[in-house]
Amino acid sequence: MTMGDRLAGKVAIVTGAGSGIGRTAAIRFAAEGAKVGCADRDRDGLDTTVQEILDSDGQAVACEVDVTDEKLVEQMVTETSDAFGAVTVLYSNAGIAGSGNAKDLTLAEWEKVIAVNLTSVWLCSRACLPGMIEAGGGSIINQASVGGLVGVPGIASYAAAKAGVIGLTKQMARRVRAIEVSGNAICPGTVPTPLVEKTYMARVDLPLRGRGLIRHRRTSRTIAISLSDRACGDDRRHPQIFALYLASDESAWTTGVVVPIDGGMTASRSGLKPFVRG
């Protein structure tokens, strides 16, 4: 891991740091000089991330947390602050997949996805804001999705949660700019991570009906096969590159922005093609 200084002096929390985008972001932040609170509910994955940072002479602490639990989120911020000082960067990346159309979801399925993908973003922001204000500023980076921007079949709860993240981010950006805290959202397309691969494989077997949904299932199979052959470290497809910019002082005048990192997915009539064709 090559060390830089773009985030020197920053204290960051990255949620979902135990794997995928969160892991690569935490490692990248540390490589650029940030002291990182790595947060995840997967202790083994979390320890792997932290150890990789420490082995490369970076600074990190592990925070085992369920980001839907208010008290545990506050504890996560306290543990990071006690170790390194006030948190000045928050990357709310933790999330889960959700499959099913509106008429097919149970209330429990709906509430779980909303809690993890939307409510947790608010909880983490609320917990970090007092320290950012005291420190004189900060950056909140929220992980949304192209699924919150365009209609995608079969992901009602996920789409609602990610659209909510976008709305929350814009609202916060208007309110917190006066206190030198920026708020921005990143909307990844299909990023090759183990979670995404598993999700698309699961959708292949969904009991879908109708011509459009059958087409969706076939597309899911194609993407799943494509993703299985790709390394999760492929930076071209990772929103953590843009998150690094948003975490740095380079983005001081960037706030309220919603940025798709999707290989042109939202610019295409058939947005899945860039990912299937690589």
Please say whether the beta carbons of 53 and 83 come within 8 A. no
State both tokens at 169: 């981010």
- Output the pLDDT for position 151: 85
- Residue 237, pLDDT > 80, answer no
pTM: 0.84
- Residue 109, pLDDT > 90, answer yes
**Nearest C-alpha neighbor of 141 from the set 119, 125, 118:** 125
- Output the pLDDT for position 176: 79
- Residue 205, pLDDT > 70, answer no
Q: How far apart are CA 251 and CA 77, in angstroms?
A: 23
- Residue 10, pLDDT > 90, answer yes
More confident residue, 168 or 227: 168
Q: How far apart are CA 76 and CA 73, in angstroms?
A: 5
Mean pLDDT, residues 135-148: 95
State both tokens at 266: 């939202």
3-state secondary structure 21-61: HHHHHHHHHHHCCCEEEEEECCHHHHHHHHHHHHHCCCEEE
Residues 6+ apart with CB under 8 A from 22: 14, 15, 16, 38, 40, 49, 91, 93, 94
* 46-97 tens-digit pLDDT: 999 999 999 999 999 999 999 999 999 999 999 999 999 999 999 999 999 9
- Residue 257, pLDDT > 70, answer yes
- Residue 264, pLDDT > 90, answer no
DSSP 250: G
- Output the pLDDT for position 194: 54
Domain range 11-191+233-267, CATH class? alpha beta
CA distances from 184 to 48, 81, 180, 223 (A): 28, 22, 13, 28
Which of the four pLDDT bands, split at 50, 70 and 90, describes residue 238? Answer: confident
Q: How far apart are CA 107 and CA 146, in angstroms?
A: 24
- Residue 189, pLDDT > 90, answer no
Q: How far apart are CA 19 and CA 27, in angstroms?
A: 11
Q: Where are the domains of the chain?
A: 11-191+233-267
| Window from 50-54, 123-127, 179-183 with minimum mean pLDDT | 179-183
Give catalytic residues, as residue numbers.
158
| Mean pLDDT value across the chain | 85
